[in-house]
Structures are given as C-alpha cells and as structure tokens.
Amino acid sequence: MADDPSLSAGWEAAAHDWAKWARAPGNDSYWRFHREPFFSLLPRPGRLTIDIGCGEGRVARDLKALGHNVVAVDVSPTMVEYAKAADPSMKVLVADAARLPFDDSAADLAVAFMSLHDVEDMPGAIREAGRVDTSYLESHRYHDSIERAGLRMTFNSRHWPLEAYFRAL
C-alpha cells in the first residue's frame, strides 16, 4: 500500500512492543527453537563480531556471553537505546545494514539474526556483510578442536563460501 511506512519506520514505531515481546521468556521462536542451534553453528570468537539488525540486543548479549567481542547495529534509535540500557558496556550503533560504519575486513564474523527480511535494501545488507567480513568469502584452512562429554576431536577442514559449493555443483 502506498501509505505503508518503510520497514525501518515500522520497526522504530514497534520498538517498545518489540522489546517486551523479545524479552518475554519462552515467548517466541528465539527462546523456543532457534537460539541454541544458531549459536552452535558459529565459529569461535575472533577479533570482532558484528550483529546486524540487533533490535533490543538479545543476540548481541548472548554472543558476548559466549566470548565474542561484539558491536551491534540497528537502524532504529529506540532499539539501540534498549540494547545499550540492557548492557551499557556493549557498543551499539544506529546504522543502516546497507551502509555499515566499518572498514573493509574489520570483522571476522557478521551475523544478521532474523533481520534480513526486515531490511529494505536486503542485497545491500548482504553486500555490506561480505565487505566487512571477507573471511567468509575467502577459502581458508582451519582446525577446530572440540571436547564434549568426555570425547575429543580435531576437525581439519577448509572453509568455502556457499557460493563455491553451488559453482562446483
């Protein structure tokens, strides 16, 4: 509809409701399904992890608790205020995902948890995530040593971006 607000204006208007919604224990899929599986997919903490579309900051706080050095960004000033109030030591910036205020390759991990479908310029946001996190786009060897339930394993592998698998297929 012509009088629909932009996605970012819609989120700014919904910020107070979102903070209550997102923080209610067990209320949404973050608490019920996605949280643990998502974090189990992430690489170990590196120099800098950027949380894109951080909202009131729950993902950023969980990343920090896992040892990540996090900078969180959101286009909504009210969301950013909520995230800062919840953890005043967290660096949280008002910024558009399609124009991230970071140098090329500044981060070794950029996450956008349940936010890309809320960003007006989705391709721009993906391009920016790739620009600030080039380690994803470059192939490199890695070793991952894991201990769990008394079992130990070192994985010797090579990272490939998803695009490389599709090209090969």
Ligand X SMILES: C[S@@+](CC[C@H](N)C(=O)[O-])C[C@H]1O[C@@H](n2cnc3c(N)ncnc32)[C@H](O)[C@@H]1O
Which residues of the chain form contacts with ligand X (CB under 6 A)?
Answer: 7-8, 11, 22, 30, 53-55, 58-59, 74-76, 79, 96-97, 113-115, 118-120
Q: Which CB, 16 or 140, lies closer to ligand X?
A: 16
The CB-nearest residue to ligand X is 55
Smallest gap from Cβ 139 to ligand X, in A, equals 28
Q: In 13-160, where do the E strands start and end?
A: 49-52, 70-74, 91-94, 109-111, 140-148, 151-159
Please say which residue, 48 or 97, places its beta carbon nearer to ligand X: 97
57: Cα within 13 Å, side-chain hemisphere: 25
87 versus 120: smaller Cβ distance to ligand X: 120
Whole-number minimum distance, CB 149 to ligand X, in Å? 29
Tokens of 150: 């008394």
The rounded distance, in Å, linking the Cα atoms of 55 and 75 is: 9
